Structure 1
Amino acid sequence: MSRTTSRTALLAALGLIAATGATATAMGTGIAGAAAAGCKVDYQITNQWNTGFGANVIVTNLGDPVSAWTVGWSYTGNQQVTQGWNATITQSGAAVTATNMSYNGTLSTGGSTSFGFNGSYSGTNAVPATFTLNGVACTGTTEPTTPPTTPPTTPPTTPPPAGSKADNPYAGAKVYVNPEWSAKAAAEPGGTKVSNQPTGVWLDRIAAINGAGGGMGLRDHLDEALAQKGSGELVVQLVIYNLPGRDCAALASNGELGPTEIDRYKTEYIDPIAAILADPKYAGLRIVTTVEIDSLPNLVTNVSGRPTATANCDVMKANGNYIKGVGYALNKLGSIANVYNYVDAGHHGWLGWDDNFGASAELFKTAATAEGSTVSKVHGFIVNTANYSALKEDHFTIEDSVNGVSVRQSKWVDWNRYTDELSYAQAMRTKLVSLGFDTNLGMLIDTSRNGWGGTARPTGPGALTSVDTYVNGGRYDRRFNPGNWCNQSGAGLGERPQAAPAAGIDAYVWMKPPGESDGASKEIPNDEGKGFDRMCDPTYPGNIRNGNSMSGSLPDAPLAGKWFSAQFQELMKNAYPAL
């Protein structure tokens, strides 16, 4: 795989068009003779309607560490900030000032933080042209001690050479809005606030390739993507999800292929998908494939010798068909010039423990080099797909202790190494690169349902009476246990899809379309191979995988993948950032 365009250069491009609206990246340089100062600010309009908009601002400190920050900008129109989060935001006329909160004021060299807000406007809603950090204009570099004698040979806006892949496919690109999902979302009360967001297209059975039940098939989606693309770049997100013996540790998302049907997987599923994606008609699209959700980690955590073992996972480990299937998919799809493979890497509440983390990374490499594939066929990894783990826990860290007791000993953390998905994704990336994956490996984080907003969202840490009260009082993730995964009560929409939001992260994505069920809350006969899992039953008191906690699932849920209006309404109500 050729990766000649640097991630830094792509991030620096001005006038980016994000997945859901306008984005500007402003950079800053310090004053000669002062302590090294410099900054980068990404201002992203994440949602916009007739009289209002939502925005996300990412500030990166490129100079010396700071213990407090103030970001400033001025509007050219009549925009007014009406509500903010993760910063104290004030406005005087056109000038806006955002100051850190108590928990996010420290920025190391290269460190980033983000804040967001909602605003009103009329007429135009132009992105501000310039920003400052602590009074320093942001242009993206620190002041050099000696000016360069020659200009850079590759300007930041240079696209990747013909025939090579963009380092980050999301940078500078719109992302495909699935019209089928969009119509369902728009039909819900208030749903038009998010119905223009891009979501993944799930190819979860052979029939989905040509269109199951009268729905759109793969070619239909790609043709629609060409119409949405216009003259710019556009990403299409596909979920490759039909392994033999799929989801061996659960039942709700079991699939149509039996444990031994690896040949059918190759010839009836992967080969037809590859043939369509390789059609020259679609060569101008950036096609992101997220490969086989919830498969490989099961071969580490749910096999004999582990307390959560299942007979089905033992079968899949013994026959090797998860490894063969993933390797075959990566090889076939990754050989197509405009396809970007991202492999599923679970989530921190599954693989964050010492005995899971390294073993899973090693297994990912084994799969990436099976069936003729190589690590060069893997563009990145995705975490938290269709899950609920909080993006970032602000009120406690893994290094904290209460009365001499480590946060790791709390019942919630339970000796995990990570408290949230961002820290887990970045650590997993580092581990994978150390094993031989590309040094520019990118990560995706599914933020479709991990916002955990609403009235239950904590505004500070818990009481210091014990490590459990400290963690439980401050954590955003309100599940009974991080092992709970089905239609979670109280969950909310998370960060809106956006490109390059943090170091090593290619994008926040909504790979799981909000409003699509995780599984039925009672047994429902069907011809899709989907079973009834008690983790989707709100009356279920749990098992060893979720610490024998209540399932926390919503009642009256339909089969996995079917529209679940009550869940969609709950996600909108508890969205963070708020709608």
Structure 2
Amino acid sequence: MTRRNRRRRVWVVLLGVAAVAVIVGVVFAVSAAQRWFHTVTAQPPGIGTTLLAPAQSKAQQALDGGRVDAASEEATRFLAAQPTAYWLTPEQNPPGTAGGTVSDLLAQARSQDAVLSIVVYGLPERDCGNHSAGGLSPDAYRSWLSEIGGALKTAPDMDKVVILEPDSLALAGECGNLDERVVQLREAVHALEGPGTWIYLDGGHSGWLSPAEMASLISAVSVDDSIRGFATNVSNYRSTADEFDYAHAVSERLGGLHAVIDTSRNGRANAGEEWCNPPGQRVGDPGGTYGDDVVDTNLWIKPPGESDGPCHGGPAAGVWWPEAAVNLTDGLRE
């Protein structure tokens, strides 16, 4: 080989090395930029947050399926358009389908520039045999959670709100299964956590357990920074003011842990101790209306129009109930 050819070969090698270095540098720069972008843009829900109004809501399904009569159509259309959490349950989103549902919801949220809020509601022996009894076996539950968490992690640049297993902690003492619940919830948190995912544990409500009792239950889960906080008043009718006071009292015992409050059906807040389809109630203030240094904001978590169970003439828990939709929105539809 001549000296000239050797020199040309050396230059080719050097240019190749330089090109590889540039490519590697770009990859690292993009990766770092993405990490920085996700870090600085991730925001928990707050005042002004708009949740997705999911196309899979029971109200929208009733409209799409032509199962709405003239008396309830206006109320059903009104509620279908409201930003509300979507409840993932194994009954309607069984293992093998839940991940696809989450992916579809994420696509809807991205296209609408909205925040996705989901309720994960499928743990073993759910609701201790009460109106919402059901859930998965322990092994199926872990697989289901992994599927949901995997789908959430595909959108690290989006903020996602996860309300994890309502009633699971507040009801544990009555059910006698606190030790099991704590382990299950820890595993659930670790399966679902990821960039931009804000997880809220069950926080009961102001008319149930004392702040000290509720704080003790939440602290037993011991998931450090993996959760954002706790959710109160889910599927209940307590006043927003009472729930703010309660959330502050619980948070004070937990070192300032944050909270969200369900205001989907507390527009009158006069149900007292009655929790199963109490008559005369109204939807509450829209999500993103209130917030402070402890309460991130209020949200519509329980979809108005879905029954609490077979009481006061209602169908099974979670079933769309046109009469409830009409009553809850009376005087509000325009």
Distance of 1:498 and 1:169 partners within structure 2: 8
Aligned to 1:289: 162
Distance 2:91 2:170 in 1: 24
- Residue by residue, what CA displacement relative to the aligned partner does 1:417-472 show, whole Å, maximum 9, x if unpaired? xxx22211222122221xxxxx4x321110111111xxxxxxxxxxxxxxxxxxxx
| Structure 2: gaps spanning 5 or more residues | 1-34
Q: Give the Cα–Cα distance (whole angstroms) in 1 for the partners of residues 202 and 237 of structure 2.
A: 15
2:192 is aligned with 1:333: yes
Q: Which residue of 1 aligns with 2:240?
A: 391
**What residue is the counterpart of 1:169 in the other structure?**
45
SS of the aligned residue for 2:115 comes to: strand
Q: Which residue number in structure 2 is paired with residue 323 of structure 1?
A: 182
- Between 1 and 2, higher relative CO (CA 8 Å, sep ≥ 6) is seen in 2
- Tell me which residue corresponds to 1:396: none
- Per-residue displacement from partner, 1:474-515 (whole Å, max 9, x unpaired)? xxx332x42x21111111111111155344221111111110
Call closer, same or farther: CA 1:168–1:223 in 2, change over 3 Å. closer
Change (3 A) 1:276 1:206: farther
Query: Which SS does the other structure have where 2:104 is aligned?
Result: helix
Question: Are the counterparts in 2 of residues 492 and 574 from structure 1 also a CA contact under 8 Å?
Answer: no
1:327–1:489: structure 2 CA closer, same or farther, 3 Å change rule? same
Which of 138, 143, 151 does residue 276 from structure 1 map onto? 151
Instruction: Map residues 148-297 of structure 1 onto 2, 5 A cutoff.
Output: 161-164=36-39, 166-170=42-46, 173-181=49-57, 183=60, 188-191=72-75, 192-205=77-90, 208=93, 217-229=101-113, 234-248=114-128, 251-257=130-136, 261-267=137-143, 269-279=144-154, 282-297=155-170
SS, match of residue 327 in structure 1: helix
TM-score (norm 2): 0.78
Structure 2 residue 324 is matched with structure 1 residue 567: yes
CA distance in 2, matches of 1:173, 1:347: 22
Instruction: Give structure 1 stretches of 5+ with no counterpart.
Output: 1-159, 303-312, 393-419, 434-438, 453-476, 522-535, 537-553
Q: What is the match of residue 347 of structure 1? A: 205
TM-score normalised over the length of structure 1? 0.46
Distance 2:172 2:104 in 1: 35
Shift of 1:375: 1.6
**Residues 432/185 of structure 1: CA separation in 2 closer, same or farther (3 Å cut):** farther
Distance change (3 Å), C-alpha of 1:185 and 1:351: farther
Bigger helix fraction? 2
Residue pair 1:238, 1:289 contacting (<8 A) in 2 also: yes
Q: Give the C-alpha shift of residue 169 in structure 1.
A: 3.2
Match in the other structure for 2:20: none
The CA distance in 2 between the partners of 1:451 and 1:297, in whole Å, is: 23
Matched-pair contact (CA < 8 Å) for 1:491–1:574: no
Report SS of the residue matched to 1:266: helix
Q: How many residues in Structure 1 have an aligned counterpart in Structure 2?
A: 288
* Percent identical residues: 30
User: Is it true that 1:379 corresponds to 2:228 in the alignment?
Assistant: yes
The amino acid that maps onto 1:423 is D
Instruction: Decide whether aligned partners of structure 1 residues 501 and 173 sit closer, same or farther in structure 2, where only a CA change above 3 A counts.
Output: closer
**Contact persistence 1:244–1:265 (CA under 8 A):** yes
Residue 212 of structure 2: aligned partner: 358
Question: What is the RMSD computed on CA atoms of the aligned residues?
Answer: 2.5
Letter aligned with residue 255 of structure 1: G
Report the Cα distance in structure 2 between the residues aligned to 1:430 and 1:161, rounded to whole angstroms. 32
CA contact (8 A) 2:79 2:304 kept: no
Counterparts in 2 of 1:372-521, with a 5 A limit? Answer: 374-392=223-241, 420-433=242-255, 439=256, 441-452=257-268, 477-479=269-271, 481-482=272-273, 484-498=274-288, 500-519=290-309, 521=310
- The structure with the greater share of residues assigned to strand is 1
Gap change, CA 1:211 and 1:485, over 3 Å in 2: farther
Inter-partner Cα distance in structure 1 for 2:160 and 2:91: 19
C-alpha separation between the residues in 2 aligned to 1:277 and 1:167?
A: 16
* Aligned mates of 2:305, 2:97 — CA distance in 1: 20
CA contact (8 A) 1:451 1:574 kept: no
Relative distance call for 1:499 and 1:490 in structure 2 (3 A) is closer
Contact kept? 2:43, 2:159, Cα under 8 Å: no
Contact kept? 1:516, 1:562, Cα under 8 Å: yes
Which aligned pairs between 1:540-551 and structure 2 lie closer than 5 A?
none
- The letter for the 1-side match of 2:37 is A
In the TM superposition, residue 572 of structure 1 has moved relative to its aligned partner by 0.6
Question: Is the CA contact 2:122–2:165 (under 8 Å) kept in the aligned structure 1?
Answer: yes
Q: SS in structure 1 opposite 2:56? A: helix
Distance 1:323 1:206 in 2: 23
User: Is contact 2:50-2:288 (8 Å) kept?
Assistant: no
